[in-house]
Amino acid sequence: MRRAGAGAIHEVGRVVPRSGRTLLPAGKLPADLLARLLAGIPARDPRVLVGPAVGEDAAVLAMGETCLVLTLDPITFATDEIGYYAVTVNANDVAVRGAEPRWFGVTLLLPEGKADADAAEALFAQVVAACEEIGVTLVGGHTEVTAGLDRPIAIGVMVGEAPADRVVRTAGARVGDAVILTKGIAIEGTALLAREFAPRLRARGYGEAFLARARGYLRDPGIGVLRDARVAVAAAPVTAMHDPTEGGLATGLHELAAAAGVGLRIKATSIPVLSEAAALCKEFGLDPLGTIASGALLVTCPEAAVADLVQALQGAGILAGRIGQVLPAEEGVTLVTPAGARPLPVFTRDEIARVFESGTE
């Protein structure tokens, strides 16, 4: 992560320039700021069925009986296997619309003074292999060696297709629905910590077998939710799906609630925190609820469909279970713990960003 320049002073979680203005921390824009920015975008084309909105993972464009689903996501934390990350996380955002990813474009920015032909070839190979793995066609993009970067950056665009009557929205969650979570947390955070901070972890006594398992979270249980989403929409009348990423599961739940205009009641003890994730979050002093969570899928469905949905996911070898319920908006977003109920924490930036600020050595 970049650090502030000489004209600024540091406070916990933010950077304050000497002028007194508060600079934004690394990570997603604050939800209230983003909502304000998006509110000013005019709706000019009636074919845009789902446009820019807080909590919505991808745009939906009406094209007759078929809808095009489009998303764009960058990879900014990882340096290892970023081609795989770029394809997979963009496919996730298309998948939660109930759509099939079809076409992918990517911009690859390589750091000046650090990139060579081998690095470029490796990135291309990762992108091509990841597209082949899920049956997506690579249709174009842009490559560049860029001044001012300290790491490679990949920015992907994924386009998919869905029948017009099968599109799923984050905003579709309804009062009375159950909230289902697949796999557990924090899958991507675990893989990132093990891959980017391996020397530090070895120095702290973590063995190679542990690090290999944690690195392996990238593919097992995996940061992709395409298969989870396919199984879910085939098994039950899904009302909403959402892909929690930066800011972790907690941010994903807040985004789902905001998009649908509902409240949530979430049971903390029902949220699976995977073993290596729990260990690494504890090691770095991170809250798993706020640690980047790609690989988990949030699904809402009517109460009557919960058993069929969970059974189908588990039958496909995907860990899944009910973690809460959708309530009226006035009930807020609540986390129920053994010590009692409290508001679900809000993470203004992903927990893992604090670790990146301290460096990888």
For residue 19, the model assigns a pLDDT of: 58
**337 and 203 in one domain?**
yes
Q: How many domains does the chain have?
A: 2
Q: Is it the case that residue 106 has pLDDT exceeding 80? A: yes
In 3D, which of 327, 298, 256, 295 has the Cα closest to residue 55? 256
Q: Domain ends where: 166, 182, 201?
A: 166
In whole angstroms, give the CA distance from residue 255 to residue 347: 12
User: Tens of pLDDT along 107-162?
Assistant: 999 999 998 999 899 999 999 999 999 999 999 999 999 999 988 999 999 999 99
Which range of 18-27, 71-80, 174-183, 343-352 scores highest in mean pLDDT? It is 174-183
How many CB atoms neighbour CB 3 within 10 A?
Answer: 9
Q: Name which of 355, 115, 351 is nearest 247 in CA terms.
A: 351
Same domain for 256 and 234, yes or no, is: yes
Q: 66 and 87: one domain?
A: yes
Nearest partner of 249 among 231, 226, 228, 268, judged by Cα: 268
**Residue 153 counted as domain residue:** yes
| Same domain? 117 vs 175 | no
**Domain span at 126:** 57-166
Q: Is the pLDDT at 326 greater than 70, yes or no?
A: yes
125 burial (CB, 10 Å; 0-12 / 13-18 / 19+) is exposed
Tokens of 235: 């098994």
| Domain end marker among 166, 182, 211 | 166
Same domain for 188 and 248?
Answer: yes
Model confidence pLDDT, tens digit, residues 174-222:
999 999 999 999 999 999 999 999 999 999 999 999 999 999 999 999 9
The Cα–Cα gap between 335 and 111 comes to 42
Q: Are residues 112 and 222 part of one domain? A: no
Please give the mean pLDDT across all residues of the chain. 91
Decide which of 166, 193, 228 is a domain's last residue. 166
Residue 347 sits at the vertex; the CA angle it makes with 259 and 318, to the nearest 5 degrees, is 65
Predicted confidence (pLDDT) at residue 9 exceeds the cutoff of 50: no
Residue 236 lies in a domain: yes
pLDDT at residue 359, as a whole number: 60
Give phi and psi for 31, each to the nearest 5: -60, -40
186 and 294 fall within a common domain:
yes
What's the CATH number where 92 sits? 3.30.1330.10
Q: How far is CA 312 from CA 172, 228, 297, in A?
A: 21, 10, 14
In sequence order, what are the residues at sequence separation of 6 or more whose Cβ sits closer than 8 angstroms to the Cβ of residue 116? none
Q: If DSSP codes are grouped into helix, strand and coil, which group holds residue 227?
A: helix
With respect to residue 33, please indicate whether it lies within any of the assigned structural domains: no
